Amino acid sequence: MNPFAVLGIPERFDVDLTSVEKQHRELSRALHPDRFAAAAPSERQAALGKAVEVNEAWRIVRDPIRRAEALLALHGVDMTEEGAPTADLEFLNEMLEQREALDDAKRAKDLEAVHKLAHAIEAKSKAVEAVLTEGFAREDYAALAGKVGELRYFRRFLDEVSAIEDELAA
């Protein structure tokens, strides 16, 4: 599935999410099962299938990681987890250090330190997204796979932060 085609939007990384969300909503309006409650089963099935596809496309496009993966896949770069290149050692070491700092903050129940670490990673994440925007504009696809891998590391880190927040709040 080409999520950009499903949503009827251009294939690019820097998308206007507000506008795409609107597009998704219009498509959902046309396809939602409620609209076909009184229709024949074949039609209900067809609408449901398309609605699922439209929702999946929106889920991909709204997420920078999955959006980048989809774009790279469209240009023949394998972006499944197995196909991704291994990140460079320096980056891995840095993430390892950040992880340890997060573990320490968690053990100390220091929510402020957790937030500080999270903000730093969020900033890095934004910077990498800017690099991706530029790279996609230059059509320099092969070099971008590693950057997407970095975003995945940041995502896992921030998921861990959310889990810690929940745990400390409870």
Partner 1 sequence: MALFEIFDPKAPARPIGIDLGTTNSLVAYVRNEKPVAIADCDLEVLVPSVVTYQPGGDVVVGRRAKLLASEYPRDTIVSAKRFMGRGADDPETRRLGPYAFVDAKAGEPNTVRFKVAGDRVVTPVEVSAEILRALKEQAEDELHHVGGAVITVPAYFDDAQRQATKDAARLAGLEVLRLLNEPTAAALAYGLEKKQNGTFVVYDLGGGTFDVTVLVLDDGVFQVRSTGGDSALGGDDMDRAIAHELLAALGFDDKRQTPQLVRLVLDESRKAKHALTTEESVEALVPGHDSVTVTRARFEELIKPILDRTGVACRRALKDAGLKADQLDGVILVGGATRVPAVRRYVAQLFGKEPLADIDPDEVVALGAAVQADLLAGEGRSDEVLLLDVIPLSLGIEVGGSVVDKVLPRNTTIPCSAKATYTTQEDRQTGFEIHVVQGEREMVADNRSLARFTLKGIPPMPAGLARLELTFHVDADGLLAVHAKEVTTGIEQTVSVKPSYGLDDATVEQMLLDALDHGEEDLVRRRVAENRVEAHRILLATHKALEADADLLQPGERDRIVAACEALEESARGEDPGRIHARIESLDDATKGFAGRRMNRAIARAIEGRRVDAVEKSVEHAKGIEEAHAR
Residue matched to tokens 């989809």: 70
Q: What angle do CA 90, 77, 153 make, to 5 degrees?
A: 35
Residue closer to partner 1 by CB (options 30, 96) is 30
DSSP 3-state helix, strand, coil percentages of the chain (rounded to 5)? Answer: 80, 0, 20
Residue closer to partner 1 by CB (options 57, 144) is 57
Handedness of CA 32, 33, 34, 35 (dihedral sign): positive
Positions touching partner 1 (CB under 8 A) are 8, 19, 22-23, 25-35, 37-43, 45-52, 54-56, 58-59, 162-163, 165-166, 169-170
Residue closer to partner 1 by CB (options 91, 99) is 99
CB of 89 to partner 1, least distance (A): 26
CB of 62 to partner 1, least distance (A): 9
Distance CA 3, CA 170 (A): 38
Q: Which two tokens stand for residue 37?
A: 């409650």
CB of 148 to partner 1, least distance (A): 18
CB of 4 to partner 1, least distance (A): 12
